[in-house]
Amino acid sequence: MTDSIYAPRMARLADIRPMTELEKLFVVEFPDGSSLGHQPGQFVMLSIPGVGEAPISISSSPSRSNGHFELCVRRMGDVTGVLHRMKPGDVVGIRGPFGHGFPIEQMRGKDVLFAPGGLGLAPLRSLINQVLDERGSFGRVIILYGAKRPAELLFRDELEQWAARDDVEFHVTVDRGDETWTGNVGVITTLFPKITVDPRNTVAVTCGPPIMYRFVLMEMLGKGIPETQIYLSLERRMKCGVGKCGHCQINNLYCCKEGPVFTYAQIKNIPEAL
């Protein structure tokens, strides 16, 4: 039988971990134990048969695959809404991995500055953990993380680990604090004055809500980081994941093929991109 590029493989939810009011972490495995074989920054098309399919970025790093991968998913639409009601052992469909991830080879030997906002940590965590697992191959590792409220911080246990490491410069902020919060308050850009970088030798990586990019990019460019060394992971509507259906087009770039990871140099002249 001829295969269809739109037919997913069956996968199982090995574990589901609540993260915030809106986000859960889904640990996914294929019944035959095979690995997904992804690069940090890539995404999968996740199907719930009869409900639909949605593009989801991969949150786990290939260096920690162990026959499974992780998806940090916000409850938002049909597919994610039903997914959030599922139990460990339930099955989903997976196509992919798709897209162009982070070019980790070109990052080796350099300082890496991560600046995820909100759910933008989901795709960046894949790269962050890969970098930390090969810590010796990189220069400084700086993580600036911003969320709206303390209750919306993702991967809290890992944030604590990153904060505790002396080979990671970690700063976190929330737009609005609460009675338990003693850390930074303010948008993510307020973290940038806390760090200095060697711009020539720094690769910057960001992902977050659309409104965030302009301000974060200003900070990165302000620090002198070249446009070709600033990476963004963009979100778009996707129905095929393989460059056919047209939904994810950003002018002539297909977010599902040339992206979702772009350099700022690639998209800076495309008003539609940001």
Would you say 2 or 196 has its CB closer to other proteins? 2
214: contact with other proteins by CB under 8 A: no
How far from the centroid of its chain's Cα atoms is residue 63's Cα?
A: 16
> Nearest distance from residue 38's CB to other proteins, in Å?
16
Q: Residue 207 — φ and ψ, nearest 5°?
A: -160, 140
Looking at 21, 67, 246, 265, which residue binds other proteins (CB under 8 A)?
Answer: 246
Identify any residues that bridge with 18 across adjacent strands, giving them in sequence order. Answer: 24
186: contact with other proteins by CB under 8 A: no
Given the rule CB under 8 A, which of 44-52, 108-116, 183-191, 200-208 is the region that contacts other proteins?
44-52
CA-CA-CA-CA dihedral for 141, 147, 149, 153, to nearest 10: -60
140: contact with other proteins by CB under 8 A: no
H or E element in which residue 24 lies: strand 23-29
* Alpha carbons 41 and 135: distance in angstroms, whole number: 18
- Hey, which bits of 126-243 come out as E strands? 141-147, 169-174, 184-185, 202-207, 230-233
Looking at 64, 100, 110, 247, which residue binds other proteins (CB under 8 A)?
Answer: 247
14: contact with other proteins by CB under 8 A: no
Coil/strand/helix, residue 18: strand
Looking at 28, 60, 235, 266, which residue binds other proteins (CB under 8 A)?
Answer: 235
In the complex, which residues of this chain contact other proteins (CB under 8 A)?
Answer: 1-8, 10, 12, 31, 47-54, 76-83, 85-86, 90-91, 93, 210, 235-237, 239-240, 242-247, 249-252, 257, 271-272
